[in-house]
Structure 1
Amino acid sequence: MALNIVVGGGALGLLSAYKLALQGEAVVLLDRAQVGSESSWAGGGIVSPLYPWRYSPAVTALAHWSQDFYPGLGEQLLAQTGVDPEVFVTGLYWLDLDDEAEALAWASNLGRPLASVPVSKVYDAVPVLGPGYERAVYMSGVANVRNPRLVKALRAALLNMPNVTVHEQAAVGGFIREGARVVGVQTALGDIRGERVVLTAGAWSGELLATLGLDLPVEPVKGQMILFKCAADFLPSMVLAKGRYAIPRKDGHILVGSTLEHCGFDKTPTEQALASLKASAIELLPELADAQVVGHWAGLRPGSPEGIPFIGPVPGFDGLWLNCGHYRNGLVLAPASCQLLTDLMLGNAPIIDPAPYAPQGRLGAR
């Protein structure tokens, strides 16, 4: 049985390992800290790009496949592990969009359930919404997933699979090569050799590819969020206005995010961001002024050109594969990205055209 080494234990790495293992492949998953503790833990978990009509068809294709897949994945992981990822279908309201006409045209062209709704109906459906909004569009069927529980469930599922080994606190420092072939990785635990190496290290993927003299255009983009505790029925739907969103969890926690900051690998939460996020939260949902803030954190998204991920083999380095660079949509795109990767690695018919995501022609030399 050929061994597959997956480097990086976020949602993309966990789900890549899971899908490969379900196909009978042997997998070693490596993470430099604890799996799922970076951007996969920190994000909001909306199972849609924030503004899906603003993305290329490449991102849309992955998003649509994943949106249909998530409910079943949540049920499967709950049955396997007893951990519920809480895939919560609430729908999503966008308020006072500048490009509403483009959004409606996109939905009409692709047959997506997004439509203009009278703002009075939004206030009926979401009584806690702040005053002054004049226009709204709504997409039914949009879910959010409780991402910390998703990664916990995936970790538990992998630990129960006999063909999977998970190593945490196992930083990878470089690759082992034999001629043009990558045959393993150098880790804090020693060298590990395998038939294939999959790089799913998020914002850190570029740092690792640089050790091979390759320039991967993936950079860290900091995002900060805050978490409130409210009654379980406080917010019945996700809402988004002026680039900020509020996401209800099933137990009444409300996530509000997020910032976009280019400041390297610094993920220190700041008072400035906290104040900005609180102001946005209270403008959207005025009753949050009296709610308890129970969390404030930052994560690092793997920023990439146009948000199009890199999925496929690395040219000139046989045995090395990428599944990274998902920018703001890692959780949204993960199921489709990992299925596409698995299809390509195992020679199966791919679920969608793999060409837009291929590393070929998209990597530079350092």
Structure 2
Amino acid sequence: MSDVLVVGGGVVGLLSAWSLGQEGLRVTLVERGETGREASWAGGGIVSPLYPWRYGRAVANLAHWSQDFYPSLGLRLLEDTGVDPEVHVTGLYWLDLDDQAEALAWARANGRPLHEVDISAVHDAVPALGAGFSRAVYMPGVANVRNPRLTRSLREALLRLPNVELREACEVRGFIAQAGGIRGVRTDQGELYADAVVLAAGAWSGELLAGLGLELPVAPVKGQMILYRCAADFLSSMVLAKGRYAIPRRDGHILVGSTLEHAGFDKTPSDDALASLRASAEELLPALVGQAPVRHWAGLRPGSPEGIPFIGPVPGHAGLWLNTGHYRNGLVLAPASCRLLLDLMLKREPIIDPQPYAPQGRLVATPLA
């Protein structure tokens, strides 16, 4: 029997399990497929909300804490596992924003280093950028993390902890309720028991909670991405315009994304999305005209109201905790979300006010069939 069962092996589940395991708790992580192969693998890995000024304080507080934490997390995982998550600090240029004045006002109010830059200076700094832009704002210090390597390093870190068990290809079918609380999960490989269960199953979390007669407003939102292979010095900074972005990796790979589609749990890449993404890539970076992407894929984000995740205990079900619903910002918010969860579970002073993320009052009871 474990102290804690974590359901879901994306970056939030992996980091939750690792954080709990670092405290000496006996942890079992259960993942229906392979760890890190859903939204955490599919995303771009920008360590910032795409438009941070368009979110409320709840998302901003998690994002700011995580942004400050990521460099040390990357170094710690590299030292512990030998797998480099590649936290790559490039800065980010936003181009031709409709709400540039609001962005700059937000930066002043929050003490964030976002400032206006003359477009000629942007072209000097990013020679690959297309000529069709007239205005820019820039935030130095914004990083991207190579998310598939981040989840690989977290998986390796878990395997090195003697008090943590990893169960992949193990699908959770429901919860075990005893004495008014949740004491484990039913899986396709049998029952697993624990003192506490953390649900971190991303877009699939709502389906599992429905078995308890609870409606979690988290739904899958499909996103498609493409990948180019370029020279290592081709793109020096991340750039974003018209809702689309280009992200440079250290080895020259360039990610371009992404779409926002409400298509249920369908993850099939589409020709229409490919054409749209290629057009965006070629507008941002004209050198890509005529160059075929080396990869095209889709993933499912856990969409939630206002993008505010659910972090904390589930009312009426003692022992059940949530860490899910991060929408487009799972990688951005994961470190702070998992630290907040840890603080709440261990009854410590939380890093930030936990109230905006509490499941209490945000879940709806529904009749069981």
Counterpart CA distance in 2 for 1:132 and 1:300 is 32
Shift of 1:3: 1.3
Counterpart CA distance in 2 for 1:132 and 1:324 is 39
Paired residues for 1:17-28 under 5 Å: 17-28=17-28
TM-score for the superposition, normalised by structure 2 = 0.98
Shift of 1:290: 3.8
Paired residues for 1:120-135 under 5 Å: 120-135=120-135
Percent identity of the aligned residues? Answer: 71
Q: Deviations over 1:57-77 (max 9, x none)?
A: 000000000000000000000
Counterpart CA distance in 1 for 2:166 and 2:231 is 38
1:246 maps to what in 2? 246
Counterpart CA distance in 2 for 1:132 and 1:38 is 35
Cα pair distance change 1:251/1:292, threshold 3 Å: farther
TM-score for the superposition, normalised by structure 1 = 0.99
Matched to 1:253, the amino acid is H
**Secondary structure in 2 aligned to 1:9?**
coil
1:186 maps to what in 2? 186
CA contact (8 A) 2:174 2:186 kept: yes
2:224 maps to what in 1? 224
1:343 and 2:352 aligned: no
Matched to 1:136, the amino acid is A
1:14 maps to what in 2? 14
Q: Deviations over 1:96-130 (max 9, x none)?
A: 00000000000000100000010110010011111
Shift of 1:292: 3.9
CA contact (8 A) 1:229 1:292 kept: no
**Secondary structure in 1 aligned to 2:293?**
strand
**Secondary structure in 2 aligned to 1:71?**
helix
1:358 and 2:358 aligned: yes
CA contact (8 A) 1:173 1:187 kept: yes
**Secondary structure in 2 aligned to 1:93?**
strand
CA contact (8 A) 2:170 2:187 kept: yes
CA contact (8 A) 1:229 1:291 kept: no
1:297 maps to what in 2? 297
Counterpart CA distance in 1 for 2:132 and 2:200 is 43
Q: Deviations over 1:117-165 (max 9, x none)?
A: 1011001001111112110000000000000000000000000100000
CA contact (8 A) 2:225 2:277 kept: yes
1:202 maps to what in 2? 202
1:79 and 2:79 aligned: yes
Matched to 1:182, the amino acid is I
Matched to 2:59, the amino acid is V
Counterpart CA distance in 2 for 1:274 and 1:346 is 46
Aligned length, in residue pairs: 366
Q: Deviations over 1:1-26 (max 9, x none)?
A: 96100000000000000000111111
Shift of 1:179: 3.2
1:233 and 2:271 aligned: no
Q: Give the ranges of 4+ consecutive aligned residues of structure 1 lying more than 3 Å apart after TM superposition.
A: none
Counterpart CA distance in 2 for 1:146 and 1:241 is 21
2:138 maps to what in 1? 138
In structure 2, stretches of 5+ residues that fail to align are: none
2:109 maps to what in 1? 109
CA contact (8 A) 1:113 1:140 kept: yes
CA contact (8 A) 1:186 1:192 kept: yes
Counterpart CA distance in 1 for 2:234 and 2:350 is 42
CA contact (8 A) 1:234 1:252 kept: yes
1:67 maps to what in 2? 67
Counterpart CA distance in 2 for 1:46 and 1:71 is 13
Counterpart CA distance in 2 for 1:294 and 1:74 is 27
Counterpart CA distance in 2 for 1:291 and 1:149 is 26
Matched to 2:76, the amino acid is Q
Shift of 1:188: 1.4
CA contact (8 A) 2:2 2:193 kept: no
